[in-house]
Structure 1
Amino acid sequence: MKFEPRYTEENFNVPEQHELRDFFRLSLYLLGIVFGLYIVLGFAAEKIAERLPPRFEAAIAAHFTGKLDDSAFPASRDYLQQVLDRLVKTADLPDFQYKITVQEQEEINALALPAGRIVVFSGLLDKLRSENELAMVLAHELGHYAHRDHLRGLGRGLVLLSITAALGFSGDLPGFIAPSVQTFSLKYSREQEAAADIFALDLVVRSYGHAGGALDLFAMFEEQERNTPALFSTHPDSRWRRQNLADRISREGWPQKTVQPLPAKLPFAEEVSPQA
């Protein structure tokens, strides 16, 4: 006996199936939920961060700074601390003891950790050519403290972690959602970086009396980011950053005088091992 398959006739009890369409529809719903929660709860986290008392921030900082090596590059660290102290004197900042830590790492970067701890990587120091460039780097990190960016970022990170846990993704968003959320977060980060640039320029001008050297820093950054599309960068395009600051210098009529040289190449030679 030959088997002849019979297909269900179209009727009201058996709906037509469109699995792919249903998948995309549900994916969009899920993406909308994640974005909605991220925006609403992220906004709430920002407001909480703005009002977080210093003693609570100091308690949070212990989890980030407890394992930092404060003994590395002592001479370079002392010099950076002198420049930082000069900037702090003329800045409107939260009431913390702002302290420099130098870490041996090739990455060209610096970090603002909670409660006033600034970490500068030796790879960045190696690229600096004047004290004015160094001051711009440190003033930029102070800008993050003034705007509470370091706590805003921490709050948003905790919000995203909570959302993924609540949705049962074990801390990781699905592949079709993660890129969208990451791109949104990067844009938010770039806005913070641009605001910190403006804060830094204003502070350097108040501290040094001119804007000389403030723009030189970005030529080095441009060289480093040539292979990184702006869409996937946590920082704005360096050419845009330099032009944005140049426009502000022009509007304010700030002079650009001779830069103050570094006392020696950073990190100081006696602190660098022969293998470095």
Structure 2
Amino acid sequence: MDTIRAMQTFVRAVELGSLSAVAREQQASQPTISKVVAALEKQLGVRLLERSTTSLSPTEAGRRFYERARRVLEEFGEAVGDAQGQAERPSGLVRLSAPVSFGVLRLNALVLAFQQRYPEVEVELLFDDRYVDLVAEGVDLALRLGAQLPPNVVARRIAVSPRMLVASPTLMARHKRVRHPADLASVPMLRFTWLAGGDAIVMEGPNGPATIEAPCRYRVNNSLAMREGFVDGAGFGLTPAWLVQDLLDDGTLVRVLPRWHGSAQDAFLVYPSRRYQPARVRVLMDFLAERMPLLPGMQPV
């Protein structure tokens, strides 16, 4: 059996939802296409497709095999082109996962600029604050902020964002005595929900680190909500610069205790641990690695 052809036939059957459609596309008879898929199922020892007189759909095993087979075929096609000396022209779909707030505030514009440069690459931008299973969910590339990364992935550190204490000018005017991290224990604080360390804030300053117990009266689980809270004067907060740099630049927020800072937040590109990446994924990775350090509140590594 021609395994590559069988995989191509199965993948197209899933995508078109019909063996007849595959037969028309390949200029073959439907019985021939059915035999190819049946031979593949026999070789694998599992049923890949559920067939009826009116519909066709992958089984659970078929769905998992489809995701892997599609990638294998893509890599095979690019390997053939490379062996034949053909220049790779990035095209096709890239599924990119990113945190919600950073995705909306900063990444969306970068992806649109990327598509201006590479018009034949489609991008599906998926906003999700959880650590998605890249293989199981068919994600090609993920942007992750912070040091905690999912297992069994390759991570490329591309930028860093300083973490600083900020507040609105109005709130700062009401708390002019904030001159040292210890003074934060008596002011309203705005924190991210589920943040490690509870109410403790650790900052680095001229004389080394300081840990402050700063009771918090307001917690949210979304960075854009925190950004709005800072502007509305809901509290002081320790935040990565990417979230507020534009507001600091135009005076909407002010930096508090500028000689002190929190631990910086790293930005990583994360992808499944396989050796070969399609050209469309590689060019997107390189584009983000080039542009992200230039974003407001981000710095090169």
TM-score, scaled to structure 1: 0.23
TM-score, scaled to structure 2: 0.21
Identify, as 1 or 2, the structure richer in helix.
1
Identify, as 1 or 2, the structure richer in strand.
2
